Amino acid sequence: MHPTRRLAVVSVLLGSTLAASGCLPLAATGMAVGAMAALDRRTVGAQTEDTEIELRAGNRMPDAIKGARGVAITSYNRRVLLTGQVPDEASKLDAERAVRQVPGVREVFNELEMASRVTFSTAANDSAITARIKAGFLEQKVLNTNAVKVVTENGVVYLMGLLTQREGPAYATVASRVGGVRRVVTLYEYITDEELARITAR
């Protein structure tokens, strides 16, 4: 990673931490969010669409299935990942059907489990795993932390992003070495080196 780009990543992570603790002015918080969006490999339009997809899909869940509070929806470049727990197979299929009906969705990865909702301690551990994985990306220096979306559910890690064939294994290796990770699932959308060059030149 270019030194300037690496510094920007560090600044964004620091800004996010300060914002969460209430120590950062609103204007500075907006600047941090804007910087993070700029480092994302998705276009600003795609990022906006992903946010809208998550909101619309989330609004559909209560009508689609019972126990919708156990369902997490993550959209990356209009490809949607469903994680969490549902009571039965019918609910799993209904959740996927509801998401597929949301405008703009290109693909759905249905990783819902038929089980009771995870405990608070398990959810907290999942959040800690995600944080350690992102820190691991940053420590590698050559990995762009904002190029990959990390989702952890009950110890299973899902990686989404726009990556080259060369980059993909490096992120998965870092994630697999973090304590508490049971399995790593890669849901990358592969791009060529030429496409990456055009993205980074934006």
Amino acid at 147: A
Integer Cα distance of 78 and 189 in angstroms: 11
**Model pLDDT for residues 76-108, shown as the tens digit of each residue:** 999 999 999 999 999 999 999 999 999 999 999
Q: In which residue ranges of the chain is CATH 3.30.1340.30 found?
A: 58-114, 118-202
CB 71, CB 61: distance < 8 Å: yes
**Model pLDDT for residues 139-188, shown as the tens digit of each residue:** 998 899 999 999 999 999 999 999 999 999 999 999 999 999 999 999 99
User: Three-class SS of residue 25?
Assistant: coil
58-114 CATH: 3.30.1340.30
Portion of the chain with pLDDT greater than 70, in percent: 81
Integer Cα distance of 154 and 136 in angstroms: 19
In terms of Cα–Cα distance, which of 162, 170, 160 is closest to 195? 162
For residues 38 and 14, the model is more confident at 38
2 pLDDT exceeds 80? no
Amino acid at 19: A
Mean pLDDT, rounded, for 49-53 = 98
Integer Cα distance of 52 and 72 in angstroms: 15
User: What class is the 118-202 domain?
Assistant: alpha beta
Burial class (CB in 10 A: 0-12, 13-18, 19+), 35: middle
